[in-house]
Amino acid sequence: MGKGKGLKAALQTQQSRLKSKQKLSHSVQVAEDKVRRKRQSQPVSPHKTENNKKSADGSRKKPSLSSRTIKVPFKPTDRILLIGEGNFSFARALVVDPPLALAFLPPENITATAYDTEDECYEKYPESHAIINSLKERGVEVLFGVDGTRIERISTLKGRKWDRIVWNFPHAGKGITDQDRNILSNQMLFLGFLRSAARFLQEGPTPVTAPPKKKRKLNEDEDKRDDHETSDSEDDSSPQQTSHTRGTVLVTLRNVIPYSQWDLPRLAKNPPPPVGSTPPNPLYTQLRSFQFHRSLWKGYEHRMTKGERAYGKGTTGEGGEDRTWEFCLRDVS
């Protein structure tokens, strides 16, 4: 009991700091909204609108999704370990109809795993049976009963290394209604995952991060922000990788409350101290974060931990942005 309370206390302290920070951020947002409304109420010079692209009805056009750079965080040579696959539709998207950049990704390079047993998977996600058969026919390694916080317990995975270890939309799935306890439960899940995944990442030099194509002018407040706070731009810096660079962990979440309160970047970079017999968490460096476009992965369906039985469809609620964070192990001096 003492070990669990100690870890929860450390996480609660981090959570308290995060809430204070969010209140400050909200105040800044309110002030910015007031300034924006004031500007909108002022007349606009014709010279300013002449250079703006307009649609037929006179409204300003927004850049289409296809006109922006969409991140494909994999290379055709990558060895990829997928955790918590649910109905395995993301694995299918990687293999059956991948983005053009991954057209030559060998199916044998992919190991797709699920927390559920095979029977549980078919019961929760009836469509998964056909998907899994298709993956196996193409040479994808499919494993069941894999706990993302205890990867080392799977004998077939011991001693192996991957370039990318991916967990899309992780969730403890304990049905905890109290929001603070729910946040703590998922923070502990994430810490366990990072601790377990570390020993399975490919060794090598840290990927070099190229400067972003577009740079924003930062004010003093922005300079003081933690380096895990990134812009929503699709021009976020990208790791320049060679065939021998260090493996990375990619975690995707909805970037709205309560998921943003899990504070994944801070937990990865500055985990709470170990308690009792729990080994210390390795330190990670955040390489980048970028918007996750579900439309890029054809046929991908994010399914809830409880499967089809939860809320009818077993899918997440609407609203907010999906975002991927990419980390690699930090050099230990």
Domain count, the chain: 1
User: Which tens digit of pLDDT belongs to each residue from 27-58?
Assistant: 556 556 665 565 556 554 444 444 444 445 55
- What is the pTM (predicted TM-score) of this model? 0.73
User: Which tens digit of pLDDT belongs to each residue from 75-127?
Assistant: 999 999 999 999 999 999 999 999 999 999 999 999 999 999 999 999 999 99
| 16 located within any domain | no
Percent above pLDDT 70 for the chain: 63
Greater pLDDT, 4 or 121: 121
User: Which tens digit of pLDDT belongs to each residue from 229-259?
Assistant: 444 444 456 666 556 799 999 999 999 988 9
List the domain range (segments joined by +) for residue 290. Answer: 72-212+281-333
| 130 located within any domain | yes
User: Which tens digit of pLDDT belongs to each residue from 275-288?
Assistant: 888 899 999 999 99
| 140 located within any domain | yes
| 44 located within any domain | no
pLDDT at 221 over 60: no
Packing angle of the helix pair 2-41, 179-197 (nearest 10 deg):
110
| 245 located within any domain | no
Question: For residues 331 and 329, what is the distance between their CA atoms, to the nearest angstrom?
Answer: 7
Mean pLDDT computed over every residue of the chain:
79
215 residue type, one letter: K
| 3 located within any domain | no
pLDDT at 159 over 50: yes
Q: What is the pLDDT of residue 13?
A: 63
| 61 located within any domain | no
CATH number at residue 90: 3.40.50
pLDDT category, 206, cuts 50, 70, 90? very high
